[in-house]
Amino acid sequence: MGFGFKMNGLIKWNLVLVLFFTVFSHVYADDGYRLWLKHNLVEDPVLREDYSKRMGYIAVEGGGEILKTAVKELQSGLQSMLGITVDSNMQPSFTGGIVVGVAGQSSSVDTLLTKDERAWLGEEAFLLSSRGTMLLIAGGDERGVLYGVFRLLSLMGQNIPFDNLNISEAPAVQLRLLNHWDNLDRTVERGYAGFSIWNWHELPEYIDRRYVDYARANASIGINGSVVTNVNANALVFRKDYIQKTAALADVFRKYGIRIYLTARFSAPIELGILETADPLDPAVREWWSNKVAEIYDLIPDFGGFLVKANSEGQPGPQQYGRTHADGANMLADALRPHGGVVMWRAFVYSDEEPEDRAKQAYNEFVPLDGSFRDNVIVQVKNGPIDFQPREPVHPLFGAMTQTPIMMEFQITKEYLGQGTHLVGLANMYEEILQTDTYTAGKGSTVVRIVDGSLYGNKLTGIAGVSNIGTVRNWTGNYFGQADWYAFGRLAWDPNLSADTIYREWARLSFHKNEKVEEVVTTLLRDSYKYCVEYMTPLGLHHIMAAGHHFGPGPWVSKMSRDDWTSVYYHKADEKGIGFDRTATGSNALEQYGAGFRKVYENPDECPEEFLLWFHHLPWNHRMKSGMTLWEALCRTYHAGADGVREMKRLWQTLEGNVDDETYDHVLMHLLIQEKEAVWWRDACLSYFGSISGLDIPDDLELPEYGLDYYKSLSYPYAPGIRPRW
């Protein structure tokens, strides 16, 4: 031994690993494919040894499909994070190992659980705890075990020591689903990360490795369902061959505790060429759906059910036959009930014949139907009443229906928040909405309590997120988009988690361990949402983006096939003032909210300024809390947002050399685009609003580089999601 001191075997091995890691970790760039499941080697030898000494064996009893997955994941995680191979066929002993299993199905698990713990462990719940030198991963069912395993690996990935480990968790809601707006031709509506990952052509025979990795990633954050087709649905998916293809995906997902769902096109009985009507009360139509559903369950016994967009933006629905949304939903619910399936019926509806404020229409349509839905129907509501705008107040339907379960629909893909290029952490937005008090059943009627069913005692509960993934190597296009997918899953599991906690977890899991990186990444995610709202739609402005592809500013958009697709409908700017009056003097959308909520927003002098122009139409010289006029505040807020992006770029640049070059460059190039586009949004909007108000931008601020006509003349045939044309 030439080092002049003696090394025991373990230290020697550690040294080799550390050397290996330092030499190679910065050489190979990270292409982002592994998401937050990097499972890099734990570099700190002391910590690694502390982890390892509790992992001499895995003792597992029983063995359904999901339990097998859990053990496999555990073994491969330990292999890559600790460099150890752990046998899974061991009997428990007291010398340091992991006992894994389902309560009530494994005697070794049961002997380690107290009576209370056993009673507490329900569906999908897990308990992760150190018992002396042993680790216990107990699940209420196999999915619970899998979630416990992933949590353990996540703690290790974050290098969190195991002292007195004692975590017991159960998900707050039942349906934790990704919604894919994926078309059968593999384009993705509002997708910015390539094509659909579902390769219908090669299914069912060819199982792309991505399907497995997709399921793993979702299961690791607690997502338990996936709607694989677009809500703008295609009836073809109900043809036999497509059902077989769907079944092949379901087989992959099942191993990870994930159920598959499809979108149901309401007119499918007609389009598949069999019937002349899709009237939900027609016996032949009802029979067609019952048979179709039975055919699906034949191949997919754990099929989850249907998500439906009906009578919305041109989609067919029950109203074409003079029936209600409840009639339509109930027909599908009746077909699904014998098999245990659910219907998620979307409330994203607004009519072009209706002169009513679009923000009010879903409420008007659905509240009278409260109490008339079957118990396997849940109404899926977007977080805000218009359409996934950068910032919206909560949708008034949350809390308005006491007898109908309501599930949340968030958008993870950034249709309105910079699409594929902007770094914007969405967890802040999700948190803001979930923690909003609707006051519908008095103070404390938060959205979380509506969504988790506790406010009105609803049995069926759920949260859905419109997916941001596609075929690009790193899944989300923009690397930071992974943080939104991660955040969605974590919040669906525990809607009371703070955005900051989630960002920190993601930062630790997604970058090579480094405190400086963790701080900067967390800061970027945290501040970016505020900046984005400021440079796009400050002070409650909304729906002022370009038409069609929704890329970039378009506050001047005034001619569309319907008024409520234009920008001028929403900002209502004229020479005197700006904003949408939704108080009693205007559309009175505020009347749809709880009394306590109304009180906060109805008076323009008290209304939180981030929602001022959402609820009020005000003169340009309205005095803000700061003493500034509304116009000046608008100018300064737009500028603050664009300056914020510059600060984000500066912060990121401090990380050069601390993150691998590929990721560093990838993020920096996107930040440069974001900086350019933030300035574009700011200047285009201020030029436009200045031309309407006749007021000048304060002279201490950077002036727009071009005139309004220039901004209006820009066109983006290459913006994602449209057919390029001149």
Q: Which residues bind ligand GCW (CB under 6 A)?
A: 181, 189-190, 231-232, 309, 313, 348, 387-388, 415
Grouping H, G, I as helix, E, B as strand and the rest as coil, residue 331 is: helix
In the complex with ligand GCW, the residue whose CB is nearer, 392 or 677, is: 392
Residues 6+ apart with CB under 8 A from 705: 683
Nearest-CB residue to ligand GCW? 387
**Residue 161, CA atoms < 13 Å, CB-side half-sphere:** 8
The least CB distance from residue 9 to ligand GCW, in Å, is 59
Q: Which residue out of 141, 279, 409, 415 is catalytically annotated?
A: 415
In the complex with ligand GCW, the residue whose CB is nearer, 257 or 390, is: 390
Q: What angle do CA 176, 177, 182 make, to 5 degrees?
A: 175
Residue type at position 414: K
Give me the numbers of helices (H) and strands (E) for the chain, helices first please: 23, 15
In the complex with ligand GCW, the residue whose CB is nearer, 311 or 446, is: 311
The least CB distance from residue 396 to ligand GCW, in Å, is 17
Alpha carbon distance 478, 58 (integer Å):
38
The least CB distance from residue 145 to ligand GCW, in Å, is 36
In the complex with ligand GCW, the residue whose CB is nearer, 331 or 464, is: 464
For residues 375-408, b (16+ Cβ closer than 10 Å) or e, as one string? ebbbbbbbbbbbbbbbbbbbbbbbbbbeebbbbb
In the complex with ligand GCW, the residue whose CB is nearer, 310 or 630, is: 310
In the complex with ligand GCW, the residue whose CB is nearer, 181 or 638, is: 181
The least CB distance from residue 618 to ligand GCW, in Å, is 27
The least CB distance from residue 695 to ligand GCW, in Å, is 32
The least CB distance from residue 478 to ligand GCW, in Å, is 19
What is the radius of gyration, based on Cα positions, of the chain? 27
In the complex with ligand GCW, the residue whose CB is nearer, 228 or 247, is: 228
The least CB distance from residue 271 to ligand GCW, in Å, is 18
In the complex with ligand GCW, the residue whose CB is nearer, 309 or 422, is: 309
The least CB distance from residue 108 to ligand GCW, in Å, is 48
In the complex with ligand GCW, the residue whose CB is nearer, 313 or 665, is: 313
Beta strand pairing call for 577-578 and 618-619: antiparallel
Q: Are 47 and 161 in contact (CB under 8 A)?
A: yes
Q: Which residue out of 141, 142, 357, 387 is catalytically annotated?
A: 387
List the structure tokens of 283.
């016996």
The least CB distance from residue 382 to ligand GCW, in Å, is 7
Peptide bond into 204 cis (omega under 30): yes
Alpha carbon distance 133, 56 (integer Å):
10
Q: What angle do CA 365, 350, 487 make, to 5 degrees?
A: 95
> Can you tell me which residue has the tokens 């991660």?
486
- Note if 124 is an active site residue: no
Residues found in the chain: 726
Q: Are 613 and 579 in contact (CB under 8 A)?
A: yes
Alpha carbon distance 67, 77 (integer Å):
15
Q: Are 469 and 478 in contact (CB under 8 A)?
A: no
Q: Are 17 and 60 in contact (CB under 8 A)?
A: no
In the complex with ligand GCW, the residue whose CB is nearer, 232 or 588, is: 232
In the complex with ligand GCW, the residue whose CB is nearer, 714 or 722, is: 722
Q: Are 390 and 417 in contact (CB under 8 A)?
A: yes
Q: Which residue out of 65, 287, 298, 313 is catalytically annotated?
A: 313
Q: Are 129 and 117 in contact (CB under 8 A)?
A: no
Q: What angle do CA 608, 610, 616 make, to 5 degrees?
A: 75
CA neighbor of 414 nearest in space, from 349, 366, 367, 465: 465
- Note if 515 is an active site residue: no
The least CB distance from residue 563 to ligand GCW, in Å, is 17
Q: Please provide residue 445's backbone torsions phi and psi, each rounded to the nearest 5 degrees.
A: -85, 65
Q: Residue 534: which H helix or E strand, with range?
A: helix 515-536
Q: How large is the angle between the packed helices 45-52 and 9-25, nearest 10 degrees?
A: 120
The DSSP call for residue 369 is G
In the complex with ligand GCW, the residue whose CB is nearer, 160 or 722, is: 722
Q: Are 180 and 467 in contact (CB under 8 A)?
A: yes
Partners of residue 406 on adjacent β-strands? 379
Alpha carbon distance 485, 645 (integer Å):
22
Q: How large is the angle between the packed helices 427-434 and 499-510, nearest 10 degrees?
A: 150
Q: Are 52 and 684 in contact (CB under 8 A)?
A: no
Alpha carbon distance 664, 189 (integer Å):
29
Measured in whole angstroms, the distance separating CA 106 from the mean position of its chain's CA atoms is 35
List the structure tokens of 116.
């209370």
- Note if 313 is an active site residue: yes
CA neighbor of 193 nearest in space, from 210, 177, 215: 210
The least CB distance from residue 181 to ligand GCW, in Å, is 5
In the complex with ligand GCW, the residue whose CB is nearer, 415 or 610, is: 415
List the structure tokens of 517.
């990186």
Residues belonging to the active site:
313, 387, 415
